Amino acid sequence: MGEPQLCDLSVPGRQGIRFPQPDVPLSDLPPAGLLRDELPLPEMSELEVIRHYTRLSQLNYSIDTGYYPLGSCTMKYNPKVNEETVRLPGFAYAHPLQPVETVQGSLVLLYNLQEWLKEIGGFAGITLQPAAGAHGELTGVLIIRAYHRSRGDHKRDKILIPDSAHGTNPATSAMSGLRVVELKSDARGNVDLEALKLECDDTLAGLMLTNPNTLGLFDENVEEVIRMVHQAGGLVYGDGANMNALLGIVRPGDLGIDVLHYNLHKTFSTPHGGGGPGSGPVGVAENLVDFLPGPIVDVIDMGDEETPPLYGLVQPPKSIGRVKAFHGHFGMAVRAYTYLVMHGAQGLRQIAEMAVLNANYLLSRLRDTYHLPYDRVCMHEFVLEGRWPEVPDVHALDIAKRLMDYKFHPPTNYFPLIVHEALMIEPTETESKETLDTFADAMLKIAEEAHTNPQLLKDAPHNTPVGRVDEVKAAKELVLCCGVSALDRE
């Protein structure tokens, strides 16, 4: 049976935490017209609150409890030490608007993280402000627009997005007023050079390139693609969601990518938190540094033999402006910093190598049973078809749901759109060979079940707290909160 809702756990008169009595004389309250009549929040003891949320947590699947081969999400282990360092009082109790002299620790941390992310990606400048990957994309596209505008180049309103790119790319471009043109992939999963050539004209603002793309393939013509866009006067945006495959392997900036967002919550081990917060720093090439959102951290006084350098906040001269309040998700920066200092250059390369090894190994175990539409060495992930012609009723969704009965989180399914019944699998580097083998065994068993007992898949999952949920009913009836009246039972 499910966990009761908060509103049903409320009993008038209970309170989970108390505050001290005022130690100052009381003042008159504002006029009654400015006060609220009722405050319909639940009333619970601390133990009841803890039990409620603990029970809810137990209904969740998580990295700490099981394997998550979720394509393009990089569900790697989130080291526990990150959760210690972020809570150090000097960080947790620092106000974002303190005088810079009082927060040199935070600023040095942000400065070093900026420097390291520049080095890892091959960029000249970086902003840590964007709150998530999609937010980083928006920032990057605004920078591209500002660059063209600063050159008086107002015709450029077209952005090219390959059909193997990440799902947020089109919405991001539209938000910044660009015309989206989708670019086909060729038979090997690369950007189609002929299609690209046709679009390379003087209205081209840029290309949004996910490399490795959502098929898990590194574009074989990446340098040629970038050269063609540059030659037409456009810039290349790199979607860095798949950076886990490239750490210490190749720097996107060296390939000619002009702007790229990182996902600290994928590549650099900050937790996904059930949907956020993320963090999406953006790196840029030399010619775009002046357009970065401000402020960024820099040395504002070099100091001398006696005094250390002073770090402060500076506004880039042609900045696109702020994309959020304060300095970005500092807590995520602390976790990523902790992760980076524990790896160094060799450690980072090992992350990518083991991520790619794991993906290719898992692929080798599954490729004879599941159709592989693009048959190449993959990077950190790969995409299979979740269908067999002889059992047309079985879909990728059914395979995904049946995996839950084997205690696995399913792969990303129905994405990318260019593969029918896609199952997009990203093992990550933190999983052992035994875990991959157990997962592969389950996938092979499910393929067998699909042929011998397809209903088992259609009805799956069987062993989860709830079964398949009626999404149509949810959207039609639209119950989005326990009623205010139910919450307030006095």
Partner 1 sequence: MFTPHTDADREAMLRAIGIDHLADLFKVVPAKHRFPDLALPPAETEMEAVAELQNLAWANESARDLACFLGAGAYNHYVPAAVDAVLRRGEFLTAYTPYQPELSQGTLQAIFEYQSLVAALTGMDVSNASHYDGATAVAEAVNMAYANFRGKRAKIVLSPALHPQYRQTVRTYSTDSPLQLVGDGPESDLNAGPEALLPLIDGETALVVVQYPDFFGRVYDYTSLAEAAHAAGALLCVAINPMALGMLKTPGQMGADIVTGEGQPLGIPMSFGGPYLGLFATRKEFVRKMAGRLVGESIDNRGQLAYVLTLTAREQHIRREKATSNICSNQGLMALGSAVYMSLLGKNGLRQVAELNYHKAHHAAARIHDLPKYSLWSGAPFFNEFVIQCPLPVAEINDLLLEHDILGGYDLSQDYPALTHHMLVAVTEMNSHEEIETLVEALREVSNG
Residues 203-242 that bind partner 1 (CB under 8 A): 218, 220, 222-223
User: Interaction with partner 1 in 254-273: which residues (CB under 8 A)?
Assistant: 254-255, 269, 271-273
d(CA 440, CA 295): 48
Site string for partner 1, 297-336 (x = CB under 8 A): -----------------------xxxxxxxxxxxxx-x--
User: Interaction with partner 1 in 391-430: which residues (CB under 8 A)?
Assistant: 400-401, 404, 409-410, 415, 429-430
Look at the block and give the residue holding tokens 């090439």. Answer: 285
Is residue 41 close enough to count as binding partner 1 by CB under 8 A? yes
Query: Cβ closer to partner 1: 387 or 409?
Result: 409
d(CA 346, CA 489): 60
Is residue 286 close enough to count as binding partner 1 by CB under 8 A? no
Is residue 388 close enough to count as binding partner 1 by CB under 8 A? no
Q: Residue 404: how many CB atoms within 10 A of its CB?
A: 18
| Residue range at the interface with partner 1 (CB under 8 A); choices 96-104, 227-235, 297-305, 442-450 | 96-104
Q: What is the CA radius of gyration of the chain?
A: 25
Residue 460 Cβ, how far from partner 1 at the closest point, in Å? Answer: 9
* Contact by Cβ (8 Å): 471, 460: no
Query: Cβ closer to partner 1: 81 or 198?
Result: 81
Q: Residue 472: how many CB atoms within 10 A of its CB?
A: 8
d(CA 348, CA 114): 16
Write out the two tokens for 236: 């290349």
The answer for residues whose C-beta is within 8 angstroms of residue 427's C-beta and 6 or more apart is 69, 355, 358, 359, 362, 380, 381, 436
Residue 81 Cβ, how far from partner 1 at the closest point, in Å? Answer: 5
d(CA 108, CA 129): 16
Binding residue (CB under 8 A) for partner 1 from 186, 365, 373, 454:
365
Write out the two tokens for 16: 């989970």
Query: Cβ closer to partner 1: 58 or 451?
Result: 58
Site string for partner 1, 105-144 (x = CB under 8 A): xx-xx------x--xx-x--------xxxxx-xx---x--
CA atoms 43, 48, 54, 59: torsion sign: negative
| Residue range at the interface with partner 1 (CB under 8 A); choices 55-63, 381-389, 419-427, 442-450 | 55-63
